[in-house]
Chain A
Amino acid sequence: MKIAIPAEDKNIESNVSQTFGRTNYFIIYDMEAKQMETLDNSAIASQGGAGIKAAQLVLDNGVQVLIAPQCGQNAADVLAEGDIKIYASIEGTVKANIDAYTAGKLVIMNDIHAGYHGGK
């Protein structure tokens, strides 16, 4: 099973990025193989809909779990449709979050942001 985590840097000791759609990188961690790979987030330059594009990227990489500090409504819709579970990240590194997830200490995210849709 694969986990995706938005990360500030390209290594497992990097901090979790505070945004999902506009994170620099994603770290994809394979629980069984205990291997990680990094993805450049191609959504970062998007004018709008970055969350959807980032969610598409995660989906296309065969991920089943996303661990992130927050997630917008559109991205959450894409992920839900793709049967990807979203867990709320804890403060600290990507590694700390993977460990916490493995230990069953993370909780499912339930406050999804309505996001900015041009309104006030």
Chain B
Amino acid sequence: MKIAVLSGKGGTGKTLVSVNLAAAAGQAVYADCDVEEPNGELFFKSKKLKSEAVKIKIPQVDVNKCNGCRACVDFCKFNALAYIKNRVFVFEELCHSCGACMLLCTQQAITEREKNIGQIEYGQSNGVAVCTGIMNVGEASGVPIIKQLLAKINQYDNGDKFIDCPPGSACTAMESIKDADYCVLVAESTVFGLHNLKMIYKLVSFFSKKFGVILNKYDKTIDNPIEKFCQQKDIKILGRIPYDEKIAQINTAGLILVRTATEYEIMFKQLLQTITKEIKNETAIDS
């Protein structure tokens, strides 16, 4: 089963939830797709097994063949090309590797070369296979890294896969949930939290994903806007992680709740059961 964990913005507890769900599962895969700021590994501190580069194709222009027609410059939707003093310039960090310029150049002046945009690291931490996508600073898009990472974890055969998605609802988040069987939306229990939740709610609804919500920093003494929203929309609340000094302390120390305190081990195992039940239920209804 592939379970994607999302949040509307960073720092809402998305990594906390995905890391702890994977740890609670025991045998599992944790895939960090938050390639601009992957930090699941800070908690797993896994034993490094290997790493591989992620490469994309970038055009290069042969000045001797180019006749200055500018077709490539005018076409590029990403404005990655400019024509200056009889020469085509490539702005690599804006290029999305669509390959169009190469196809449309009638002079065959454009060829492709490979460029490193990041890497994927593989490690092992108490039964959890930890796979981390890392994007080099300044690159245009993390999508190629996420694609490669998710294709790789498909080959793994040790339990459920937990995908820590990039925050927000941009194309990298879309890419991360594409193949997921279930989405877990993490939201902080505030008005801002609700605003952020609505963004990813739209995303998962658009892709017709099955999903549920986990409330983080939950304070039962306060009227909760998210709970109302979920009730209205008939959204399953999978669990409530309390507002708790101890959680904050363990988290800041870079430790995994599930592996540090029994009460949280119980809590996340229950969450996992709830999620599994949800997935099974929904598949039962579907079929």
Question: Which A residues are within 8 Å of any B CB, using their own CB?
Answer: 43, 46-50, 52-53, 55-56, 59, 74, 77-78, 81-82, 117-120
Contacts and interface: CB of A to CB of B under 8 A. Distances in A.
B282 to A, nearest CB: 35
A108 B85 CA distance: 22
Contacts of A53: 79
B109 interface: no
Majority-rule SS of A interface residues: helix
A78 B36 contact: no
B89 A78 contact: yes
Contacts, number: 53
Contacts of A56: 73, 82-84
B141 interface: yes
A48 B78 contact: yes
B137 A52 contact: no
Contacts of A46: 79
Contact of A82 (B84, B93, B94): B84
A49 B90 CA distance: 12
Nearest to A75: B82
A59 B78 CA distance: 18
Contacts of A50: 79
A119 B82 contact: no
Contacts of A117: 93, 138-140
30 contacts: A43-B79, A47-B77, A48-B79, A48-B94, A48-B140, A49-B79, A49-B80, A49-B91, A49-B94, A52-B91, A52-B94, A55-B82, A56-B83, A56-B84, A59-B84, A74-B91, A74-B94, A78-B82, A78-B84, A78-B89, A81-B85, A81-B89, A117-B93, A117-B139, A118-B36, A118-B138, A118-B139, A118-B141, A119-B137, A120-B37
